[in-house]
């Protein structure tokens, strides 16, 4: 008989890890399994934003927008190392949305969510303001500048998982839930290690299905339950190109098809452009940015920027599948981004399935999920809402403290360049000190794998952040894949394989309950 947990969670994306953190902090024994790496699905393929969703106002999603707007500053406070304020410039495009409608939408955007720290919207004379310089000369004269936040999406997931584990949760990656059945008064969950094929089982008093694009598969094929709600898979693609302009603002570009496309400063030397919306009907694990989507994104920014972009400029293209609740909307762009729960508890053994949701509202989704499960879980250690005031790992510093932290790292480790120190401060916050340890020289950091990635950081990521492969490290724990060559990434994978040739689970102990 497997170990008995209060709550078992299937899915290691932002929703699953957010629920795990909240539940563990409230004193519940928590188990979470993810068949791949944390954030390897939808959660790492986003536009990297914490935002209210300005365009959702057009679809009357007022509750969703208000909740998202309120969450921006909450999340910024608890994770100021991986979340930062970002100003967006919205040029007025004659013939599309009228200026009065944009003003009205931005007025609501400023006042729906109790904004306190982020600057308010302002009108911009694009003919004279520096933010108008990258735009096509003479074409745009009026614009608006408003606030949202940028986020390292995959690290947000990992930090929620790390905090859950620090509070006692058992987090297992590369572990598939192959079957879940109600039996002998518990949920019996059969597990399979996706690397070794070894099988094991656990028991739980309650089960959460946070399978994202696989939510229906978990319900029907693995739990044997006919889903009442339906998931609508919508593909969104992004491209990354060399930096298109010098200032630190992002742009929101309106398209004639009603969509908007963002151009966002990314990783210092690049610009992130996205996203697309189209229905997807294949295997979610096989999704890729198509040539048509890449061309669409290039055309969208070329309609606004003086510096033109071609598919040949793209240094990285990625696509993900959003598992939206199917509300019957005729177009993918109009499908709701709100979350919906399906609750099933015929014998007092609850199964809660999560449909939809946004990264921005993951914390509130977790609170509502646990409210639905309240009568089935014993936890009492923390009050409802604790996740909104307790920093995520490394986030115990002020919202403007990253430069000062970088200065401290350089003072204690003088061999660090400022760029290196800033990268560590942004990635790990105060836990950057744990990454560096007692290193007194660059040699103490061990082997260098390319750019600023060193052996000491890799060992930290394997021991404390559930990393197992080079891809986990260079694309999800960081974005150093933009700077490392294919041969450097392979060398990193080879090094990991040699170091852990005698261990099937190099990071399992980091995720087990203390």
Give me the DSSP letters along 164-214: HHHTT-EEESSEEEEEEEEETTEEEEEEEETTT--EEEEEEEEEEE--GGG
3-class DSSP state of 277: coil
What is the pLDDT at residue 331? 75
CATH homologous superfamily for the domain 3-42+154-230+337-388:
FAD/NAD(P)-binding domain (3.50.50.60)
Q: For residue 388, give Cα distances in angstroms to 140, 152, 154.
A: 40, 18, 19
Query: pLDDT under 50 in the chain at which residues?
Result: 504-514
What is the pLDDT at residue 165? 98
Residue 374: phi, psi to the nearest 5?
A: -55, -45
**Cα–Cα dist 169/472, whole Å:** 21
Is the domain defined by 231-325 classed in CATH 3.30.9.10? yes
Closest CA to 133 of 23, 284, 46, 251: 251
Pairing of strands 142-151, 49-50: antiparallel
For 36-91, where are the E strands, in sequence order? 49-50, 83-91
Residue 166: count other Cβ atoms within 10 Å of its Cβ: 15
What is the pLDDT at residue 59? 76
In the block, which residue shows the tokens 């709701």? 336
> What would the CATH number be for the domain defined by 402-511?
1.10.8.870
Q: Which residues pair with 323 in a beta bridge?
A: 233
Query: pLDDT tens for residues 135-163?
Result: 999 999 999 999 999 999 999 999 999 99
Handedness of CA 500, 504, 507, 512 (dihedral sign): negative
Q: 3-state SS of 129-174?
A: CHHHCCECCCCCCEEEEEEEEEECHHHHHHHHHHHHHHCCCEEECC
Domain ranges in the chain?
Answer: 3-42+154-230+337-388, 231-325, 402-511
Helix (H) or strand (E) holding 453: strand 453-454
**Cα–Cα dist 509/7, whole Å:** 20
Going by the DSSP 8-state scheme, the letter that residue 54 receives in this structure is: G
C-beta separation of 37 from 469 below 8 A: yes
pTM (2 decimals)? 0.95
Helix (H) or strand (E) holding 231: strand 231-242
For 296-380, where are the E strands, in sequence order? 316-325, 339-344, 351-356
């Amino acid at each position: 008989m497997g170990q008995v947990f209060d709550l078992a969670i299937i899915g290691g994306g932002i929703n699953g890890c957010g629920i795990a953190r909240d539940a563990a902090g409230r004193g519940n024994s928590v188990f979470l399994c993810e068949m791949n790496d944390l954030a390897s699905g939808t959660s790492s393929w986003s536009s990297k934003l914490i935002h209210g969703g300005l365009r959702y106002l057009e679809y009357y999603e007022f509750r969703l927008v208000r909740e998202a707007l309120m969450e921006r500053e909450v999340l910024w406070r608890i994770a100021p190392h991986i979340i930062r304020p970002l100003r967006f410039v919205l040029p007025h495009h004659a013939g599309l949305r009228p200026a009065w409608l944009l003003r009205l939408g931005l007025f609501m955007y400023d006042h729906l969510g109790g904004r306190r720290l982020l600057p308010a919207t302002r009108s911009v004379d694009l003919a004279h303001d520096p933010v108008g310089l990258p735009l096509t000369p003479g074409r745009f004269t009026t614009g608006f500048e408003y606030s949202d936040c940028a986020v390292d999406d995959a690290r947000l997931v990992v930090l929620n998982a790390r905090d859950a584990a620090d509070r006692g949760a058992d987090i297992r990656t590369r572990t598939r839930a192959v079957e879940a059945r109600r039996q002998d008064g518990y949920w019996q969950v059969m597990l399979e290690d996706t690397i070794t094929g070894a099988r094991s089982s656990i028991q739980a008093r309650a089960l959460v299905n946070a399978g994202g694009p696989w939510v229906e598969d978990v319900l029907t094929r693995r739990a044997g339950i006919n889903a009442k709600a339906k998931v609508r898979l919508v593909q969104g693609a992004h491209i990354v190109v060399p930096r298109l302009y010098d200032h630190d603002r992002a742009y929101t570009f309106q398209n004639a098809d009603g969509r908007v496309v963002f151009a966002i400063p990314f990783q210092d030397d690049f610009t992130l452009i996205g996203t697309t919306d189209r229905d997807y009907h294949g295997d979610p694990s096989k999704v890729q940015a198509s040539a048509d989507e890449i061309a669409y994104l290039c055309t969208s920014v070329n309609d606004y920027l003086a510096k033109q972009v071609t598919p040949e400029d793209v240094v990285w293209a990625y696509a993900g599948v959003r598992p939206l609740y199917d509300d019957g909307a005729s177009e993918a762009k109009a499908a709701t981004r709100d979350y919906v729960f399906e609750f099933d508890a015929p014998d007092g053994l609850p199964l809660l399935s999560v449909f939809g949701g946004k990264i921005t509202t993951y914390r509130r989704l977790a609170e509502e999920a646990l409210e639905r499960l309240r009568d089935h879980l014993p936890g009492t250690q923390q009050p409802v809402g604790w996740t909104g005031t307790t920093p995520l790992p490394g986030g115990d510093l002020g919202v403007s403290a990253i430069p000062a932290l970088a200065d401290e790292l350089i003072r204690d480790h003088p061999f660090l360049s400022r760029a290196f120190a800033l990268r560590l401060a942004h990635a790990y916050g105060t836990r950057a000190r744990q990454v560096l340890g007692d290193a007194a020289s660059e040699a103490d950091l061990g082997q260098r794998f390319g750019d600023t990635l060193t052996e000491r950081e890799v060992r930290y990521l394997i021991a404390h952040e559930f990393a197992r492969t080079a891809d986990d490290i260079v694309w999800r724990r960081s974005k150093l894949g933009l700077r490392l060559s294919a041969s450097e990434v392979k060398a990193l994978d080879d090094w990991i394989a040699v170091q852990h040739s005698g261990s099937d689970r190099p990071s399992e102990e980091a995720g087990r309950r203390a």
